[in-house]
Structure 1
Amino acid sequence: MNAYAAVDLGASSGRVVVGRVGDGRLDLETVHRFPNNPVRAGGTLHWDVLALYAGILDGLRAAGPVHSVGVDAWAVDYGLVDATGALLGNPVHYRDGRTDGWRATAQRLGEQRLYATTGLQQLPFNTLYQLTAASGSPQLAAARHLLLIPDLVGYWLTGEIGAEETNASTTQLYDVRARAWATDLIADAGLPTSLFPPLRRPGDRIGPVRADAALPYPTDVVAVGSHDTASAVVGVPADGPDFAYISCGTWSLVGVELDAPVLTEDSRRANFTNEGGVDGTIRYLRNVMGLWLLQECLREWGDGDLDALLRAAAAEPAFGAVVDADDPVFLPPGDMPARIARECRRTGQSAPESRPALVRCIMDSLALAHRRAVRAAIALSGRDVRVVHLVGGGARNALLCQLTADACGLAVVAGPVEATAVGNVLVQARAAGALRGGLAELRKLARETHELLAYAPRGDTAAWDAAAGRLG
């Protein structure tokens, strides 16, 4: 069996996972985990990307000999590199407030034009708005290349400059139909087109790991679906095309897989996004705030026993209070319990009076957001859906999985939890010739090698309709 190292960087932690593929088997082993702790300095929230890179190298050393390495991470954030190859400051975190004036840029460039070209959901932290917020800065003036986070890691590992297209497609600077940088749009935004490096596709060989990485074995870096959701969707264990997916972690990415983008005015108004997927597919989805609400509550409370909280929340009455999980008021870090209580009172509801009641509010609200996004994806794309696959860390949350099935009125299949690493490894294995075929064949292996849990809807449609009606 060949071994492959998947480097998976998330918003709160990173890990290196070794996947072994062969003879109908796919075995995963997490060999190293490390924290991802943002740092606020000088009033700006940054990623500590050097600490992340050190964690990656420690993990690759712990992995032992592997055939190749693939890197995936979150979208939109980037590092700027100068003509000497030096990084011009730590990348800024997408939750930083520097893009608060993003709407002026959207209006200047034309929201309909932006959508017709990029197919991207309007989000204040899209790379386009981060870059225009940085216009006139010394860093941008000195920059030679813009590298999204996985591309920056790949550059440090190999010395090769490039941009993998699934992550490039999240920038709002990529032409989703031409599958190329939107150079006219970039120029009209006042940005130098030379910043944007040549595009790569998942499965392309990037290059050998440099000697100064000091790995005890030689290996190559291979491009994968470097947006973590692109890799997660590869790891969805679907049997056929009639599925929706929810890649659930800090964010919930809710959508369907298509062959072509949906660029209608209805789609734009619904704020759906068309992101590139592996093998030329389109991830037609909506970003939902996800488990961020719960994570921020736990941080405010000093963590605590999450399993006990979820058991207690399951015993709370349904729909005691619900909030719009996608409300921008919940986007920044801060006192999440207080913000949820304020939103409940603002909408004429009583605020939850206990931690379990607050957790139940979050779970009900997130299930409602999943329902809204799944139903919209079906209506806007015309795709038939008979099952929802919920992958990622949220697949461990039995309460959320059951509530999502109830809210959507569809069966939910939960797992694999490690879908992102699964997809990362499968693309590497196919590039090495250890696997053959398209996404259906890759997903068959994922389906046959992972334990999956099924949740049937319990038929409370009227109660969910009434709860949704509270949110307008």
Structure 2
Amino acid sequence: MKHSANFLAIDLGASNGRVVLGTWDGQRFDLHELHRFANGPVNVLGNLHWDPLQLWAEIKIGLARYGQQYSQPLTGIGLDTWGVDFALLDKAGRMLGNPFHYRDARTDGMMELAFERAGRATIFRQTGIQFMQINTLYQLLSMVARHDPQLAAAETLLMTPDLFNYWLTGRKAAEYTIASTSQMLDARRRTWASDLLETLNIPANILPPVVNAGTVLGELRSDVAREIGARGAPQVIAVGSHDTASAVAAIPDLGPESVYISSGTWSLIGVETAQPVLSDRALALNFTNEGGVAGDIRLLKNSTGLWLLQESRRQWQRDGHDYSWDELLRLADQAPPFRSLVDPDDREFLNPTDMPAAIRSYCRRTGQPEPDSVGAVARCCMESMALASRAVIDSLETLLERRLEVIRIVGGGSQNALLSQFTADACQRPVVAGPVEATALGNVMVQAVATGHIDDIAAGRRAIASSIPLSSYAPAASVAAQWQDAFGRFNALR
């Protein structure tokens, strides 16, 4: 292992973005946030878009702050984002319009159209990816179905992190972990599923070559380096460009007996495997085989996570009540247990204009008491999340034919002590929570491996374990029967 290096992790999430300094002293990592900024959809003429130019401006502000505050030259830069979304470029490398947001309604009905043309089982056996209408495959199929002129004019498709890496380096490439979220990558060959794309009339020639996580893409472009005041020419590294891949890379002690939950806007619940699981049972249970940073597979299921609570908080803010997260957890803890439950993955919660109203409507429709206070809504969200996690873990055990003994929660949701305890109680398994900054840590750790500062991913995980304190939650046997009864009610809703 080499000593002393500074890396920048650019971590773009669905609701905010950050530029984080990761320092490596030869034994431990330390993180320091340089810049944080808002992100979110922009509604234009009834469609939801991202604003990548604003994100690019914010990224450069964060990069410039490093040069303003530190004299040591940067060793590397890595960037990760959410999955599935993309930009189309013309022959000159310019964007053809603003990229669409995955919650845009243009994908309505596209999964069903894909099943008619290609077959559900065929799609899964080629790609191994969970069926969700937000997937890149259905976004592109909607453009094919509507004869979208942007698709006809496109020379290149770049997934969101690949777009920013292109702007950083001038190199067009598709990093493996983010490409795997598209449902367009052959799970076994780990190249684009050209036969499937041809069946759906999606042009495969616009897709760039796939590279592995840890690939050094090149030096930071000289014009960008001058603009941000960089000292030297830092390397830009394709990390686990899907934020969940970076987060999972940072989980300490992720052995075969462990199941992880990457907890944020989405809950991504799964295990690591050497090869994709493409069985009929995996198809029936709707599991996904996404790429890992070591070329392995993250066998997991996407479930709606903190989205319901985040959107409820936004609505309360719009109503003039700016509750802190601590206040919401206190109110939820004081609310009566198991009064109302929802299926977080119900379509009613995909993108409602008023989330608390949508939750009350769902409860009314399903014959349950409507949550009548802020605390009741918050508790409903978190109890339902915990039960949804149990449902996925039960299905995963059925698929693997073994018991998963320990739950490891990482990401922003891991600092929610009430949710972690609910998860331990609902699943009757111990929970280890942390690191909170898993995505940034995984991003930085892969950079350290790529530049020779750490030997491999396993050594990087050990270094992370010695760098970050973790929290443990034991399941309470005294409430097991109540949670079991609630789980029966929850399953009846699905």
TM-score by length of 1: 0.98
Which of 443, 458, 469 is residue 440 of structure 1 equivalent to?
458
Structure 2 match to 1:235: 250
- What residue in structure 1 maps to residue 401 of structure 2? 382
Q: Indicate which of 129, 132, 135 corresponds to 1:120.
A: 129
SS of aligned partner of 2:277: coil
In structure 2, how many angstroms separate the alpha carbons of the residues matched to 1:181 and 1:348? 46
Q: Could you say which residue in structure 1 is the equivalent of 2:97?
A: 89
Residue 80 of structure 1 corresponds to which residue in structure 2?
Answer: 88
Q: CA deviation at 1:38?
A: 1.7
* Residue 212 of structure 2 is aligned to residue 204 of structure 1: no
Per-residue deviation, residues 13-59 of structure 1 (Å, max 9, x unmatched): 10011111132111111111111132111211000110001111111
Shift of 1:239: 5.4
Partner of 1:5: 8
Does 149-158 or 206-215 show the bigger shift?
206-215
Partner of 1:304: 323
How big is the alpha-carbon RMSD for the aligned residues of Structure 1 and Structure 2? Answer: 1.1
Which residue does 2:155 correspond to in 1? 144
Residue aligning to 1:187:
198
Among candidates 167, 174, 177, match of residue 166 of structure 1: 177
Distance 2:314 2:115 in 1: 34
Show the counterpart of 1:25. Answer: 28
| Contact 1:206–1:221, Cα closer than 8 Å, also in 2 | yes
Stretch moving more, 383-392 or 453-462:
383-392
What is the one-letter code of the residue matched to 1:61? A
Q: Distance in 1 between matches of 2:314 and 2:125?
A: 40
Which deviates more, 212-221 or 160-169? Answer: 212-221
Equivalent residue letter for 2:263:
C
Q: What residue in structure 2 maps to residue 16 of structure 1? A: 19
How far is 1:276 from its partner?
0.7
1:259 alignment partner in structure 2: 274
CA contact (8 A) 2:246 2:440 kept: yes
SS at match of 1:221: strand
Q: 1:239 touches 1:440 (CA, 8 Å); kept in 2?
A: no
Q: In structure 1, list runs of 5 or more residues that go unmatched.
A: none
Q: Distance in 2 between matches of 1:34 and 1:314?
A: 30
Q: Which moved more, 1:307-316 or 1:148-157?
A: 307-316
SS of 1:175's equivalent? Answer: coil
Match of 2:70 in 1: none
Instruction: Spell out, residue by residue over 1:53-92, the C-alpha distance to the aligned partner (whole angstroms, 9 max, x if none).
Output: 1111111111233111111000000000010111001110
CA 1:3–1:382: 2 relative to 1, 3 Å: farther
> Residues 387-414 of structure 1, C-alpha deviation per residue, up to 9 Å, x if partnerless?
1111111011110000001111111111
Structure 2 equivalent of residue 223 of structure 1: 238
- Tell whether 2:450 aligns with 1:426: no
Q: Which residue of 2 aligns with 1:452?
A: 470
In the superposition, the TM-score normalised over structure 2's length comes to 0.94
Residues 184 and 295 of structure 1: is their aligned pair in 2 closer, same or farther, counting only changes over 3 Å? same
Give a deviation string over 1:109-137, Cα, whole Å, max 9, x none: 10000110101110001000000101211
What CA distance in whole angstroms lies between the structure 2 residues aligned with 1:289 and 1:461?
A: 24
- Name which of 97, 101, 104 aligns with 2:113: 104
Partner of 1:356: 375
**Within 5 Å, which residues of 2 pair with 1:388-407?**
388-407=407-426
Unaligned runs of 5+ in 2: 68-72
How far apart in 2 are the matches of 1:239 and 1:98?
38
Q: Which residue of 2 aligns with 1:321?
A: 340
Post-superposition CA distance 1:130-158 (Å, at most 9, x none) = 00101211111110000000000000111
For 2:280, give the aligned amino acid. Answer: E
SS at match of 1:237: coil
> Number of residue pairs matched?
471
Higher mean displacement: 238-247 or 70-79: 238-247
- The 3-state SS of whatever aligns with 2:294 is helix
Match of 1:311, as an amino acid?
A: R
> 2: CA distance between counterparts of 1:199 and 1:145?
13
Question: Counterpart of 1:155 in structure 2: which amino acid?
Answer: Y
Distance in structure 2 (CA, Å) of the matches to 1:249 and 1:403? 16
Taking the aligned partners of 2:236 and 2:26, their CA distance within structure 1 comes to 24
Q: Could you tell me whether the CA contact under 8 Å between 2:214 and 2:293 is conserved in 1? A: no
Asked if 1:177 is matched to 2:192, the reply is: no
Work out whether residues 237 and 444 of structure 1, in 8 Å CA contact, stay in contact via their aligned partners in 2: yes
Paired residue secondary structure (1:252): strand
Question: Secondary structure in 2 aligned to 1:238?
Answer: coil
Amino acid at match of 1:24: Q
Distance in 1, Cα, partners of 2:83 & 2:97: 18
Amino-acid identity (%): 50
CA deviation after TM superposition for structure 1 residue 256, in Å:
0.9
